[in-house]
Amino acid sequence: MANLNEISASELLGINNNKRPERDTRTLVLSYIRQNPDGVTAKMAAEAANISERRARTILNELCQAREIYDRKLPDVQSHLFYPNGRLIHKYLQKSKDLGSQIFRISFHEGRKGPRVQIQERKFTLLEGEKVEGSIFVDYNNLESFTSFLDEMLVRFNQFNEDKNGGKKK
């Protein structure tokens, strides 16, 4: 048994030379998938993270729900393959904003052809914390056109409302 002065932060977190260098299993699985953009199976992820296949599947499902990865069932492969979402390199300039009961998180990602903006809709529940509801990616080049498109739709909606109310603004 260890002496008290031998207790270290890395031991508490289970980091040692024989095991995985990265403590956070979810981080480890995710980084493994990002390193293998052509897809990995649950078994491969389990082996890479030194965890059971059942546990790997749980984590992979959770990562799918968080839109960090996605899965495909290919006709000639028996098991599901998991891929990194958007094959992103890294995200930066991330900021969240609560707009009433809706939470939006916007971040920039370095894509293969240039920066992209990810817009996530998130939801907070008391016992589950914050979860991703859904997200979209917009290429940086299209961002201005995208916001103009939103403005255009807003104008159209207001016009529609005015027409509906007999020309009176509501």
Partner 1 sequence: MRRTIMVYKIPEVGTTQVGNLSISDLDVETKFSTLFPYIKGREDIEVILRYPDVLRKKQPIELCGFKTDIILRRAQSLEQILMDERQIDIKEGLYESFTADHPILTSFNPEVIWFAPETGISTLEKNMKQLLPTSSLGFDAKMAKEVAKKIVDLIVEKPRTYNFWKRLSQIEYENETLGSVLIEYCIQNGISSKAKWLSGITPLIDAKTPNSVAISHQVNIATATLVQSKYDFGDTVPAYLYTINLNSSMLMPDKWTPLLDDVIRSARVALENQELFDGVFLSIRNLNAISQSQGRVNVVLKLMKKIAEISKVETAPSFWSRLGLIGLAALDLGENYCSVPPNLNLDDVFQSPGGPPEKVYHFGRIMNLNMRERWYANQVQDSTKKHGRGLPPLKKYWDKNLPTNEELVKPARYRINFAKPYNIAAFNNLQDEWEEYITKGDTNPGREFLQSCEAPYNSWGLR
Binding site for partner 1 (CB under 8 A): 1-2, 4-5, 7-14, 19, 23-27, 30, 50-52, 55, 58-59, 62, 91, 94-96, 98, 100-101, 107, 124, 126-130
**Backbone phi, psi, residue 96, to 5°:** -110, 150
User: Rounded to an integer, what distance in angstroms lies between the CA atom of residue 138 and that of residue 91?
Assistant: 14
> Considering beta carbons, is residue 100 or 167 the nearer one to partner 1?
100
Q: Give least dist CB 163 to partner 1, A.
A: 29
CB of 108 to partner 1, least distance (A): 12
CA distance 108 to 110: 7
| 30 vs 40, beta carbon nearer partner 1 | 30
Closest distance between partner 1 and the C-beta of residue 59, in Å? 4
Angle between helices 53-65 and 25-35 in degrees, nearest 10: 80
Count of positions (residues) in the chain: 170
